[in-house]
Structure 1
Amino acid sequence: MTATSSGWENDLKYRADIDGLRALAVIPVVIYHAFPKLLTGGFLGVDIFFVISGYLITQILLKSNSKGTFVIKDFYVRRIKRIFPALITVIIATLITGTLVMFGDEFRNLGKHVGGSVLFISNLILWQETGYFDPLAKTKPLLHLWSLAIEEQFYMLWPIILFLMWKVRQSLLPVLLVLIALSFGLNLYLLEIGNPAAAFFNPLSRAWELLLGALLAYAGMQRWITSERLSGSTADALSVTALISVTAAFALAKEGNDVPGWWAFVTVMSTVVLITTQKSWLNRKMLSSRFAVNVGLISYPLYLWHWPILVMAPLLGLTSSSAKVTLVILSVLASIATYLLVERPIRFGRNFRHPVRKLVTGFLALGLTGAAVYATNGGPNIALRAGERAAFMAYFNYEPPGQPYFRTIDVEANYRLDCDFYDLPAFRAGRATHLPRTADSSCFRPQLPGNPTLEIWGDSHAQQFYAGLKAVLGSQWNILVNASSGCRPDHALTDSSLDYCQRSNWTALETIRRYKPEVVLIAQAEGHDADHMLILIRMAIQAGAGHVIVAGPVPHWTPSLPATIVRRLWVKTPELTSVGIDSATMALNDHLRLRLGGSRGYTYFDVISTLCEDRACRTRVGPDRKLDITTWDYGHLTPKASIFVAQAGLKQLVSASSAK
C-alpha cells in the first residue's frame, strides 16, 4: 500500500466537480420530497452522497496513513466540526417549532428521534417503526437523518480497519471486494425475502455504497485510475452515459419493495464513473459550473433543512403546490444562512474558541432534551398539548404497539384484519416484514350456500368498505375479503411465499375463478391509474366476476382530519368544509369518473360524491365531531362513515350490479 507523493497531491486537490456531484445528489432529493410525482426516484440522490463520502473520507485516511500522521482523535474532531454545527441548528429549530405546533404523541416521537439522531441510531429506530415510504414516515421531521446515522456508523469502524490494514501491510483490494460483495448481496437478499425496511435502513446492507467510494479512492492511490489515463473522448462518453443512467434512475425508480436494490446500483455505479471522469467536458463545464458548485456547497444544510420544513408546513395548513415552492425557497435561504453564519465560522474561523468541546456539549444537551421529551410523553402540556384539544387528539391515537383507537372502533372486525396477509403483529412489535402471514380461510370461502357473493379486493381502502357492506347487506350476501394493508390491486400470475402483496392479489384472482362472485369491489388508497384499472376489470370478468365496481378515492385530508379540526376548525367545526382537503385527490376523482364512467360489466363508484358537496366534504356523519368523525387519519373511513357511504350509494350499486 504505497503511493507517490505527487499522486497524492494531485488526488487531494479541491475538485469543483465533486461539489457539482453534491448538487446532483441534493436537488433530486428535494424535488422528490416536495413533489414526489414529479421525480419518483429522486430519493436515490442519497446514494450519490454515500459514494462521495466514502471516496473523500477514504482518500484522506489513506493519505494520513501513508504519511504516518493518522490520529483517530483528529479524524473525529474534523467530523464533529463538519457535521455538528448545521445539525445542531436544524434540530434546535425543529424542537422549537414542534413545541408550538405538535400534538403530544407527535412531539413525543420527535423527542425520541432527537435522541436517536444524537446517538446516530436514527436508521435503527426508523427500521423498527416503519418503512421509509410508509405514510407514517412522512410525518416525522427528522426522518432524513437515517442516512447521516448510516454514515457515522460506518465511520465508527472504517478508519480503524484502514489503520490496522496499513499496519500489517495487507492489500486492501481483496478486503474491499469481499465486503462490497457481502453488503450488496445482503441488500438483495433482504429485498428477496420481503424485508425492504431492513434493506433500506440496515447499515450492513448499505455499506457497499460507501465502500465503492472507498475502492475508488484506493484505486486512485494505486494509480490504477488517473485523470491522465481517463480523458478525452473516452471520458466524455463515459460521463454522458453515467449522467443519462442516473437521470433515468431518478425518473423511473419508484418507492416500493425493490429499493434500494438495483436502482441504487445504477445510481452508485453512475456516481463512480462521474468521479473518475474528472477531465470530461461534462465534469469541467456542467458539474464545475458556478451554479452546481454553489448548490453543492450548501448541499449538506439544504439536505438537513428541507425535510423538517416540508413536514412542519402542513401542520400550519400550508399544503398547496405554490406553498411547497415557497417552502423549497425558504429551505434554500435557510441553508445559505447556515452555511455562511454557522458552518464556515465554526469550521474555519479563529474567533470561535474550543469549538469541539462546545459542539459536543450542545449536542449531548440536545440528546438529553429529546430523551426528556420522550420520557414525559411530549414534554410540558402547553399549546396544542393542553386541554380539550389534547384530549381530542389523544382519543385518535392509533400508533403501535398499543393502537388504542383501533381497539375503540374494533378495527380487527370492522376491517376484517384476519383476512390481511400483512403481518400486523410483527409490525406492532417493531419487526415489520413483507413475508405473508396466514389469513383466515373464511375470508375467501362463501359461508352462506345459495346466497349471492361479493368479493372485496384491494388494500386498506378496500377493507374500509366491509363494515358498511356488512351492516346493510347483513346475512343476505357472502362478503369475501381479499385485501391487505398497503397492497394496491394488481394482476399476480403466481403465488408468493415472500411477498404478501403478491399472495393477496393472487388469492383475490383465484377466489374469483373458484367462486364466480356476482360482484367484485376494487379499491385502493393511491396510485390510481385508469388504464391499469381497466386491465384489472377485464381480468376479473374473465376470471368469472359477474360485475365489477371500481371505488374511487375517498376525500384526503392534510395531514389528517382530526388534526385539521383541532388546528383550524376547533371553535366551530362545520359538517362540511373544504379546509384541509387535498385538491389533487379531488381532481383525480374527476379524471377517473370520466375514464371509468360506466360500461358493460363494470361501474365506477364515486365515493367523494357521497361525502362531499361542491368540494366541501363531511367532517362527521352525525352530531358529534369526535364519535361521528368520518376518518381518523388522512382518509380511512371510520365504521360509522363506512355505513353512511354504504347506505348513501354503495348498497344500491351492489344490488343493481347483481341483477345485471
Structure 2
Amino acid sequence: MHPPIRLRSRATSWDDTRTHRLPPTQTARFLQPLHGRSARFPPANPDARTLGRTGRRRPAVPLDRDVRRQSPPYQPGLTGLRGVAVVAVVAYHLGALPGGFVCVELFVVLSEYLITGPLLADPPTSRGQMLRWLGHRVRRLAPAVAVVVAVVLLALATRSGIALDALATLTWWQNWNLIAQGTDYWASAPSPLPHAWSLSIEEQFHMLWPLVTVGLVSAAQQRSRALRLLGGVALAGSAVSFVWAAHLAIGDQPDLSRIYFGTDTRAGALLLGCAAARVAHRGDAVTAVTAGAGRLLRSPVMAAGTVMVLLAATVTGSPERQTTYTVLLPVVALASLATVFAATDTGPFERPLSWSPLQWLGKRSHTIYLWSWPIQILYEELHPDTSPFLHAVVTVAITLPLATLSLRWVETPLRHQRSWASTVNWRRSAWGVGAIVLLAAGVHAANSAVLSTREQLTVEYSPLPDPSPVPGPDESPSTTCVPLLNPPPPESAGDGSTYDPSTVAPAADPSAADGCGGIVRVLVVGDGTGR
C-alpha cells in the first residue's frame, strides 16, 4: 500500500498552497500533461502568488524570469573553439607550436564569455544565491584539480617545494606563489604544477566579478542601465590592465614573469570576455543597434580576428620579449573577441568547429590542460633521452584517457548532481579511481628507482675536489723542498752497472738563504735510475 497522502493547508501564496504527495505512477500521469512543470495545483486566486503570509502584496516576478533561468542553448562552435585553444597550449608545452601560449588569452576570453552570460541573465540577488553560484564554480574545477594534485604528491612526494605548490594550487593562489618565489617560467627547473597559474587567476577573478555585477545591478534602477554600466566597467578595467602590463614591461630590466603571472596584468582578457557577454546579451537597444550596424562588417572582422589568432599562435616567438606584453597579448585578446563571435555565428565558421574530434576535446579542455603538463614532466624525468616526437606521443596517449576518466567519474557527478553519494555508481567509480591510483603508484615507484640510481652514481662518481689555486702573476714567489730519492740497490741494475755516489754532487738545500739568492737552473740527464 502507498503511504497516506499528506496535506498542508495554507492559502497564502503560490508556494504555500495545498500540496498532494502522490504515488510514483500517479505522479507520472499527473506530470505528463504539464510537460515537466511543477505538480502543485495553481492557486484559485491569480493574485495569491504575489501575497505574502501577512497579506501584503509582494513585488511581481518578471515574466521572463523562467526563461532567464533556463540553461543557455548549446553552441557547438564555442565547444570546438575550446578544443582548438587547448590543443594549441598543449602543443606549446611540448615545443611543437612556438606561439601557442597566446591561446591562453583565447581560452580566457571564451571562458569568461560563457560564465558571464548566465550571470547577466540571472544575477544573484541574495547571499544564498551568491554562495550557490560560487559553489557551482568551485564544483566546476576543484574536483579535477584535487585529483591531479593528489597524483602529483604521490608521484613526487620527495621533491623539494612540492607541498607548497600543491597547497597554492588547491587554494587558487599559485600565480602569486610563483611570483613570491621569483620563479622564472622559462629558465627554472620544470615543476609539475606551475600551469595552475591561469586557473588561479580565473578563480580569483570569479570571487570579485559577481560582487561587481550584483552591485551595479542593485545600484541601477533599470536593467538596461545596469547592463550599460557593466559593459563600460569591463571595457575600462580591461584597458587599465593592458596599460599597466605595458608600463611594467617598458622598464630597463622588467620582471616578465611578474607580468606573466600577475592577476592585475592578465585581467584584461578576462574583462574583455565579460564585455563580449554583455554585447551578446539579448533584449536591449544596444545589442540591436550593434547587430544592425555591424551586419555588413561582421564576417570580414570575424575572419580577420580568427586569422590573426592563428598567425600569432604559429609565428610568434618567445614570451620573453617585451613586445609580447605591450602589443601582442592585447591584440590577441581583441582578436579573440572576433573569434568568439565567429564561433557563435551560425555560418561558415561554426561548421569546422563542430567537427566531432574538436567537440570531444572541447568538452575535456580543462582536464586535458590539468593533466598534460604533469604527465609531460614525469615522463621526461623517467626517460630524459626520449626523442621529442615520442615524448609528445606518450604524453598525449596518457593524458587523454586520464582526462576522460576525470570528466566521467569526478567532474560530471559533482557538477550536475545534488546528491553525489546517492547517484554515483560506486563500483565503476572505484575502478576509475583505482586506475588513477595505480598509475600514480607506478610513476612513484619508477621515479624512486630513477632517483636511487642517480644517488648511487653520484656517490660512485663524485666530483673531484677543486685543485689548489694557481698563483697569479702578482703573487710573491715561494720555494718548495722536493725530497731526494733514495739510491737504488745495486741489484736493480740489470746490465751490471752500479751507482757511484761520488759522481753526483750533493744538491743544496733550497730552503737555505744562499739557495734563493739567484736563479736556479736544474738539468736532469739520464733515465729513471739516474744513469
Normalised by the length of structure 1, the TM-score is: 0.51
Cα offset, 1:285, TM superposition: 0.4
Aligned partner of 1:346 in structure 2 is: 414
1:336 pairs with 2:408 = no
Aligned partner of 2:58 in structure 1 is: none
* From 387, 393, 401, the counterpart of 1:320: 387
Cα offset, 1:385, TM superposition: 11
Residues 187, 205 of structure 1: 8 Å contact kept: yes
Looking at structure 2, the residues matched to 283 and 385 of structure 1 have their Cα atoms a distance apart, in angstroms, of 46
1:255 pairs with 2:306 = no
Residues 141, 308 of structure 1: 8 Å contact kept: yes
Residues 371, 399 of structure 2: 8 Å contact kept: yes
Cα offset, 1:323, TM superposition: 2.8
Q: Which amino acid aligns with 1:241?
A: A
Cα offset, 1:295, TM superposition: 0.8
| 1:353–1:207 CA distance, 2 compared to 1 (3 A) | same
| 1:257–1:304 CA distance, 2 compared to 1 (3 A) | same
Looking at structure 1, the residues matched to 337 and 66 of structure 2 have their Cα atoms a distance apart, in angstroms, of 23
Residues 382, 446 of structure 2: 8 Å contact kept: no
Matches within 5 A, 1:400-415: none
Q: Which amino acid aligns with 1:119?
A: T
Kindly indicate whether structure 1 or structure 2 has the higher relative contact order, using CA contacts under 8 Å at least 6 residues apart: 2
Looking at structure 2, the residues matched to 17 and 132 of structure 1 have their Cα atoms a distance apart, in angstroms, of 36
1:140 pairs with 2:202 = no
Residues 141, 311 of structure 1: 8 Å contact kept: yes
Matches within 5 A, 1:162-173: 162-169=213-220, 171-173=229-231
Is the strand fraction higher in 1 or 2?
A: 1
* From 206, 216, 224, the counterpart of 1:155: 206
Residues 68, 122 of structure 2: 8 Å contact kept: no
Residues 140, 311 of structure 1: 8 Å contact kept: yes
Cα offset, 1:6, TM superposition: 11
Q: Which amino acid aligns with 1:255?
A: P
Residues 155, 447 of structure 2: 8 Å contact kept: no
Matches within 5 A, 1:574-613: none
Cα offset, 1:230, TM superposition: 8.5
What is the SS of the residue equivalent to 1:257? coil
Q: Which amino acid aligns with 1:155?
A: H
1:242 pairs with 2:305 = yes
Cα offset, 1:86, TM superposition: 1.1
Aligned partner of 2:275 in structure 1 is: 215
Aligned partner of 2:336 in structure 1 is: 271
Mind listing any 5+ residue stretches in structure 1 that lack a counterpart?
A: 356-381, 390-563, 574-622, 630-638, 644-660
**Bigger radius of gyration, 1 or 2?**
2
Aligned partner of 2:35 in structure 1 is: none
Cα offset, 1:132, TM superposition: 5.1
Matches within 5 A, 1:354-365: none
Cα offset, 1:313, TM superposition: 1.2
Point out 4+ residue stretches in structure 1 off by more than 6 angstroms. Answer: 2-7, 66-70, 230-233, 382-386
* From 128, 145, 148, the counterpart of 2:180: 128
| 1:234–1:567 CA distance, 2 compared to 1 (3 A) | farther
RMSD: 3.5
Aligned partner of 1:50 in structure 2 is: 108
Looking at structure 1, the residues matched to 346 and 294 of structure 2 have their Cα atoms a distance apart, in angstroms, of 6
1:111 pairs with 2:174 = no
Looking at structure 1, the residues matched to 67 and 452 of structure 2 have their Cα atoms a distance apart, in angstroms, of 61
Residues 179, 261 of structure 2: 8 Å contact kept: yes
Q: Which amino acid aligns with 2:171?
A: L
Matches within 5 A, 1:301-316: 301-316=367-382
Mind listing any 5+ residue stretches in structure 2 that lack a counterpart?
A: 1-61, 221-225, 424-443, 471-531
Looking at structure 2, the residues matched to 191 and 150 of structure 1 have their Cα atoms a distance apart, in angstroms, of 19
Q: Which amino acid aligns with 2:200?
A: A
* From 115, 135, 139, the counterpart of 1:81: 139
What is the SS of the residue equivalent to 1:13? coil
Looking at structure 2, the residues matched to 182 and 223 of structure 1 have their Cα atoms a distance apart, in angstroms, of 27
Looking at structure 2, the residues matched to 178 and 47 of structure 1 have their Cα atoms a distance apart, in angstroms, of 18
Cα offset, 1:10, TM superposition: 10
Cα offset, 1:342, TM superposition: 1.8
Cα offset, 1:255, TM superposition: 2.5
Looking at structure 1, the residues matched to 394 and 447 of structure 2 have their Cα atoms a distance apart, in angstroms, of 28
What is the SS of the residue equivalent to 2:321? coil
Aligned partner of 1:179 in structure 2 is: 237
Aligned partner of 2:363 in structure 1 is: 297
The superposition leaves residues 4-29 of structure 1 with CA deviations (integer Å, 9 ceiling, x where unpaired) of 87996899322111111211211111
The superposition leaves residues 629-658 of structure 1 with CA deviations (integer Å, 9 ceiling, x where unpaired) of 9xxxxxxxxx88xx9xxxxxxxxxxxxxxx
Cα offset, 1:53, TM superposition: 2.1
Residues 176, 261 of structure 2: 8 Å contact kept: yes
Normalised by the length of structure 2, the TM-score is: 0.63
The superposition leaves residues 305-325 of structure 1 with CA deviations (integer Å, 9 ceiling, x where unpaired) of 000011111221253221321
Q: Which amino acid aligns with 1:332?
A: L
Count of aligned pairs between the two proteins: 370
The superposition leaves residues 475-494 of structure 1 with CA deviations (integer Å, 9 ceiling, x where unpaired) of xxxxxxxxxxxxxxxxxxxx
Q: Which moved more, 1:216-225 or 1:40-49?
A: 216-225
Matches within 5 A, 1:634-649: none
Cα offset, 1:236, TM superposition: 3.5
Matches within 5 A, 1:386-425: none
What is the SS of the residue equivalent to 2:420? coil
Cα offset, 1:252, TM superposition: 2.3
Q: Which amino acid aligns with 1:323?
A: H
Q: Which amino acid aligns with 2:300?
A: A
Aligned partner of 1:188 in structure 2 is: 246
